[in-house]
Amino acid sequence: MNKRQETISSMETGEVLYESFRYIPELFNEDGYYFWNKRRQSRQFTGIELPLKSYDEKGIFGDLCRLYLADGSNFLEIRSRNRCRPFNVTDLQNMLNVSHKQATRRLNSLLRSGVIANLTITIGDRKEDWLVVNPLYFVSGKRISDTLYKLFRHDLDPYLSVSAKMEFANRVVEVDERVTDTGKTIKGEKNENL
């Protein structure tokens, strides 16, 4: 972390009249790329409209971000007691008080528009399907993680600086390890297409 110091002193006496320190976070660290829109003090890219057609869809997206986003990540989750689980279509059905078919249709509309995406995470022999909010439209926290960048790379690249894209390319693709259905680990080659 860098420190910015500002000092105001008297021209006549040299006495320090005002002094302040402000810490400036590193652009990249293990948590990801530092993103905070300074001008608007917001957690979203400015000048980008939601690609949703109706005010209902925009309201649903707003409620999902407000009520179900995990702290510091863009994963939608349901918290109960000391546990959390992925947000799913049944939770959307309960939130909207609609039929399962209508909830599925609305969720598919959000997925098609690109404001959220599906991410399957495999832990051992268990798979979990998570819904993830596109950081182009809302960032929970101050950083865009490597996972978010990898998932939404094509949406984010036009809005990130060249140096940020290069740093992500170096971080995300150095070694691609995958575990097959039999539990065998496969190490892939560095992807030159990023």
On whether the pTM is more than 0.85, the answer is no
How far from chain centre, in Å, is Cα 6? 33
CA angle 180, 119, 52 (to 5 degrees): 155
Q: What is d(CA 24, CA 121) in angstroms, rounded to the nearest whole number?
A: 33
88 and 103 in contact (C-beta within 8 Å)?
A: no
Model pLDDT, residue 116:
94
pLDDT at 69 over 50: yes
> How sure is the predictor about 30, in pLDDT bands with cuts at 50, 70 and 90?
low
pLDDT at 98 over 80: yes
Q: What is d(CA 181, CA 15) in angstroms, rounded to the nearest whole number?
A: 70
Q: What's the average model confidence in pLDDT over 180-191? A: 39
pLDDT at 187 over 80: no
End-to-end CA distance of the chain: 28
Closest C-alpha to 116, from 76, 83, 81: 76
Model pLDDT, residue 50:
83
> How sure is the predictor about 182, in pLDDT bands with cuts at 50, 70 and 90?
very low
Model pLDDT, residue 178:
42
Which range has the worst mean pLDDT, 101-105, 166-170, 179-183? 179-183
103 and 92 in contact (C-beta within 8 Å)?
A: yes
Model pLDDT, residue 7:
77
Which range has the worst mean pLDDT, 92-96, 101-105, 128-132, 188-192? 188-192
Model pLDDT, residue 32:
59
- What is the residue-averaged pLDDT of the chain? 77
Place of tokens 């049944």: 90
